[in-house]
Structure 1
Amino acid sequence: MVARIDDLTRRKSATPASAGRQGRFGAFVKRSWPPVALLAACFVLWWVVTAAGLVKPYLVPSPGDTLRVILDKPGYFGFHTWVTTYETVLGFGIAIVVGVLAAVLMVSSPAVEKTVYPLLLFAQVIPKIAIAPLFVVWLGFGLTPKIFVAVLMAFFPVVISMVTGLKSIDPEMLQLSATMGAGRGQTFRKIRFPASLPYLFSGLKIAATLAVTGAVVGEFVGANAGLGYVILQANGNLDTPVLFAGLFIMSLLGVVLFVLVEVLEYFVLPWHVSRRSDSGAVATI
């Protein structure tokens, strides 16, 4: 009898965890299937349009031709994808470090914020494709100007989201920490920085995709490697399958970086992710 009661107790205690996992999986599936279905529908429409001959193959290649080009030249696309990935990741990383430091400095000093914020806005509204040639003239045709353009593209959303997060703290919480004798450093480490992370990750998701765009824009201006170089060469040769292949890989690179940021957010801020995306599942448990 005692053994049966213990067995029932163990089953009852394990049920919430199992139900929670099932609920989170169900929420993930429910959240993921609409974009997956839309993407699949776009590919089907692309295939139908090309298979029916509604457009000329030299204008819009079929999905099969695009995939065949990638499979026929794995080394070619692999090398140029690696170059763009290196430029993107390095520029993205520099933008994170510089953006976070600039945001902390701006929040710590209102005078600095009033001075720097208009300059940031002015730099952001300038089209990067217009100033990219200057970076090539100043920095040469190597990787440096491409990385610099990627930094400029990704920097603004990082610093703005971080500033917003650092300013979103409840004033009563800051008063409480001051009353308990916490210094500015302790308040920043224990209250301000953790509370700003959800805002920061929102900015990082935007910055990840913009970093890819920045690297490709830099390659458009002057490069002998990278996906931007592939796209320009294909455009000049009217090779639309290679052009579509470069665009597809570039888009895939941005999606992968976005997903990696989301995965990192899940591990760094599990409480935030579960509250935002799985609250409905939890409520049903």
Structure 2
Amino acid sequence: MKTKLTKWGSDYGLFVIVVILIVSIWQIIVNRGIIPAFILPSPSAIWRSLMNNRELLFQVHLPATLKEVLIGFAISVTAGTMLGVGMHFSRSLEKVLYPFLVISQTIPLIAISPIFIMWFGYSIWSKIAVTILTAFFPIVVSTYDGLKSGAEEYRELLLTMGANRWSIFKKIQVPLALPSFMSGLKMSVVYCVVGATIGEWLGASEGLGYFSRRMSGSLQADAVFAAIFLLSLLGIVLFLLISLIEKQLLKNKVHI
């Protein structure tokens, strides 16, 4: 345990010191009136707002956002992985769908979100649709690129031994694609938080994005920053969970 703590301290100790320094300077600047509190509230004011609104935030808005993120992420991973594998096996499918995937990422979310609200109303599915549009692309690209980058020498070796395409896919390409795939997952889960927040901001009755929009309308900057803090914390926690899963998968992966 001591060794792990020492290693963690050597890896992230400087980061913790920098964070403490930034928060301290931030607090001093606001306390001295260099920056007005209604523009940039102090860390202590944000913490008080978080505590004062904790029941509303932790019992209503955070669970709503988390639900949208998890559903959108699950759909994105399932559909994105299937599409990436399909594009890997079918050159024609890749030529047809890859341009559409790129085009989907050029559409501003602010512009497309009202259309989803028109289609799905103010239900949870309008927010999930925005989340999927945000998180789908990294999954497809990381899956496809990871499978395509399989070592050619191993593939040729298995072919000489009479292996079919499925055996090569399972024994060579999937293990070698795992690092790329997991990187896509880490990007996607963070994008899900962004997508859910944008969807809530444009039309919702609950969620951290809705809460921050309502608080900004009443000029409660400390409450807005409290919601932003929770959104950031949610993204970090989900990212770390995927990183932990990645570590276990790659540790247990059979080396070729």
Question: Which position in structure 1 is the counterpart of 2:237?
Answer: 256
1-side partners of 2:96 and 2:18: how far apart? 45
TM-fit CA distance, 1:119: 0.5
Q: Deviations over 1:216-245 (max 9, x none)?
A: 111111101001101110111001111110
From 48, 53, 57, give the equivalent of 2:33: 53
1-side partners of 2:82 and 2:15: how far apart? 35
Q: Is 1:245 the equivalent of 2:216?
A: no
Question: Which position in structure 2 is the counterpart of 1:43?
Answer: 23
Question: Which position in structure 2 is the counterpart of 1:5?
Answer: none
Question: Which position in structure 1 is the counterpart of 2:116?
Answer: 135
1-side partners of 2:106 and 2:14: how far apart? 33
2-side partners of 1:144 and 1:234: how far apart? 24
Question: Which position in structure 1 is the counterpart of 2:130?
Answer: 149
TM-fit CA distance, 1:129: 1.4
2-side partners of 1:125 and 1:229: how far apart? 25
Q: What is the root-mean-square deviation of aligned Cα atoms in Å?
A: 1.7
Q: Is 1:65 the equivalent of 2:45?
A: yes
TM-fit CA distance, 1:25: 5.9
What pairs with 1:209-220 in structure 2 (closer than 5 Å)? Answer: 209-220=190-201
Query: Unmatched 5+ residue regions in structure 2?
Result: none
2-side partners of 1:84 and 1:66: how far apart? 20
2-side partners of 1:197 and 1:25: how far apart? 29
Cα distance, 1:161–1:140 mapped onto 2, change above 3 Å: same
Q: Deviations over 1:190-237 (max 9, x none)?
A: 111111010011111111111000001111111010011011101110
Number of matched residues?
252
TM-fit CA distance, 1:41: 2.4
Question: Which position in structure 2 is the counterpart of 1:171?
Answer: 152
Q: Deviations over 1:230-278 (max 9, x none)?
A: 1110111001111110111111111111111111111111278xxxxxx
2-side partners of 1:257 and 1:40: how far apart? 23
Question: Which position in structure 2 is the counterpart of 1:223?
Answer: 204
TM-fit CA distance, 1:132: 0.5
TM-fit CA distance, 1:183: 2.0
Question: Which position in structure 2 is the counterpart of 1:74?
Answer: 54
TM-fit CA distance, 1:110: 1.0
Cα distance, 1:27–1:125 mapped onto 2, change above 3 Å: farther
Question: Which position in structure 1 is the counterpart of 2:14?
Answer: 34
Query: Unmatched 5+ residue regions in structure 1?
Result: 1-17, 273-285
The higher radius of gyration belongs to 1
Letter of the structure 1 residue corresponding to residue 11 of structure 2: R
Question: Which position in structure 2 is the counterpart of 1:99?
Answer: 80
TM-fit CA distance, 1:122: 0.4
Identity of aligned residues (%): 35
Q: Is 1:111 the equivalent of 2:92?
A: yes
